[in-house]
């Protein structure tokens, strides 16, 4: 039987993104035994043979039954008045209690499965700071509760309820380690929850080395963007920006449309305007693509510039992938983007940018940087020292191994 230090339990709501599966692959390479606990969808065909998958659900959950327990009533009341003091009157006592009771129910389910598997101690590693991570903190002290935080699950001002994530301080207190993928997130958590600052650490993700983007033999630029078409990604603003560009540009976008996206009509109008009035701009909307095929695209087709004009971000894996090929980036200064976009790797623009100004930057880039192989190697070197997957996973595992020495 594996020692506790050779075993890890990977907790994640659902496995769907390529970088989530990449994390699982790294865990499999670093631990003798990996258990994956999910509460949502998962493509079982992508689960390695030596990984045990455990699916959790709420089938037996009863809100009325949960009301019989009043042990957490003081915590619920405290959270309720915290919301009131922040001006949030939407969350009722019952809704707050419901959230905590579902978390407690999930914790009990998790504990039952761990007991059935004979796991009495070890690391419970949650990839997102959500309900499953919160549930893990209810397990006793024989477990190390390690929680990773990204962007949407970290910065409370992104929450719809007036900048408050319910019980956040309580669950940080009950955790063992909280690992932010960005320095910005680390600073944010340490300042907001200063009494727990010693358990909050910076632990970036990374990407693997797929090669180098080929040189440009054309007089035109190729711009690439990669994201779901949804409001916070502001793909419609890329189309609007390109209207003001004078260079010959081929814009390639990878990503599907999120159902009901409120920016879709604006995007369609901007695309129509480009088609009718800008013969120097061609648009190639590729839709969804597998991560492997995207990497092959970067390896076989010159990309002049990767562009991201998002409203919010953590540290985008899509940008890590681009700079791993030596592709320069233009991105908005949001979340942890300033950590990955610097003078060496690209250009940051303000969150509330002016499309004309960004277009001017793109046109100037066309003249100065596109055919500089030296600059592209410098970008790849930055990636190698900061976001190479093996290096960052080694540091992550070293941090976790240190838990067994205390």
Task: Give residue-wise pLDDT tens across range 336-351.
Answer: 899 999 999 999 999 9
Helical packing angle, 235-242 and 264-277, nearest 10°: 20
Q: How far apart, in whole angstroms, are the C-alpha atoms of residue 211 and residue 171?
A: 41
Asked if the domains 4-206+389-405 and 221-386 are classified in one and the same CATH topology, the answer is: yes
Contact between 54 and 36 (Cβ < 8 Å): yes
User: What proportions of the chain, in percent to the nearest 5, are helix, strand and coil?
Assistant: 45, 20, 35
**Which residues contact residue 121 at a Cβ distance below 8 angstroms, ignoring those fewer than 6 apart?**
4, 142, 143
Model-level pTM?
0.89
> Mind listing the pLDDT tens digit for each residue in 8-36?
999 999 998 889 999 999 999 999 999 99
**Which CATH code fits 4-206+389-405?**
3.40.50.2000
Per-residue confidence (pLDDT) for residue 182, from 0 to 100? 93
Q: Model confidence over 378-404: pLDDT tens digits?
A: 999 999 999 999 999 999 999 999 988
pLDDT of amino acid 321 = 97
Mean pLDDT for the stretch of residues 145-152: 94
Q: What is the pLDDT of residues 183-229, one digit of tens each?
A: 999 999 999 999 999 999 999 999 999 999 998 878 889 999 999 99
Range in 112-116, 248-252, 272-276, 371-375 the model is least confident about: 371-375
Nearest to 225 by CA among 245, 211, 242: 242
Map out the domains of the chain as residue ranges: 4-206+389-405, 221-386
DSSP-assigned letter for residue 256: P
Architecture of domain 221-386: 3-Layer(aba) Sandwich (3.40)
Which residues, 6+ apart, have CB-to-CB distance to 152 below 8 Å? 158, 312, 314
Calculate the alpha carbon distances from 31 to 50, 176, 203, 237, 400 in Å.
11, 19, 18, 43, 12
pLDDT above 90: percentage of residues in the chain? 71
Higher pLDDT, 155 or 134: 134
**pLDDT, mean over the chain:** 90
Measure the CA–CA gap between 137 and 199, rounded to whole angstroms. Answer: 14
Confidence category of residue 1, pLDDT binned at 50, 70, 90: very low
* Listed residue (333, 398, 382, 350) closest to 146, CA to CA: 398
**pLDDT for 291:** 93
């Amino acid at each position: 039987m594996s020692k506790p230090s050779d075993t890890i339990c990977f907790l994640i709501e659902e496995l769907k993104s390529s970088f989530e599966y990449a994390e699982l692959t790294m865990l499999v390479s670093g631990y003798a035994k990996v258990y994956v606990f999910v509460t949502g969808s998962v493509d079982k065909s992508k689960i390695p043979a030596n990984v045990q998958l455990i699916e959790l659900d709420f089938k037996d959950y009863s809100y009325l039954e949960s009301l019989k327990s009043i042990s957490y009533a003081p915590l619920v009341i405290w959270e309720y008045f915290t919301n009131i003091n922040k001006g949030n009157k939407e969350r009722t006592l019952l809704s707050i209690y419901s959230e905590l009771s579902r978390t407690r129910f999930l914790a009990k389910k998790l504990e039952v499965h761990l007991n059935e598997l004979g796991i009495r101690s070890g690391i419970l590693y949650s990839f997102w700071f959500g309900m499953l991570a919160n549930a893990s903190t209810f397990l006793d002290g024989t477990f190390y509760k390690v929680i990773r935080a990204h962007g949407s699950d970290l910065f409370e001002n992104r929450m719809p309820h007036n900048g408050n994530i319910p019980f956040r301080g309580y669950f940080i207190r009950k955790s063992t380690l909280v690992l932010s993928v960005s320095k910005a997130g680390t600073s944010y958590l340490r300042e907001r929850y200063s009494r727990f600052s010693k358990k909050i650490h910076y632990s970036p993700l990374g990407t693997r080395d797929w090669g180098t983007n080929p040189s440009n033999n054309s007089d035109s630029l190729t711009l690439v963007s990669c994201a779901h078409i949804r409001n916070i990604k502001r793909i419609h603003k890329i189309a609007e920006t390109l209207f003001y560009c004078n260079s010959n540009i081929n814009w390639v976008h990878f990503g599907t449309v999120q159902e009901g996206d409120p920016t879709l009509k604006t995007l369609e109008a901007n695309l129509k305007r480009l088609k009718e009035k800008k013969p120097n701009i061609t648009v190639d909307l590729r839709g969804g693509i597998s991560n492997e095929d995207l990497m092959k695209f970067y390896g076989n087709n010159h990309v002049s510039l990767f562009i991201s004009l998002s409203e919010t971000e953590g540290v985008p894996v899509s940008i890590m992938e681009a700079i791993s090929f030596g592709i320069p980036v233009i991105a908005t200064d949001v979340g942890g983007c300033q950590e990955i976009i610097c003078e060496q790797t690209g250009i940051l623009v303000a969150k509330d940018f002016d499309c004309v100004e960004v277009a001017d930057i793109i046109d100037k880039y066309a003249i100065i940087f596109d055919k500089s192989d030296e600059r592209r190697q410098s970008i790849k070197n930055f990636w190698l020292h900061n976001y190479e997957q093996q290096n960052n996973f080694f540091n992550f595992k070293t941090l976790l191994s240190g838990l067994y020495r205390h």
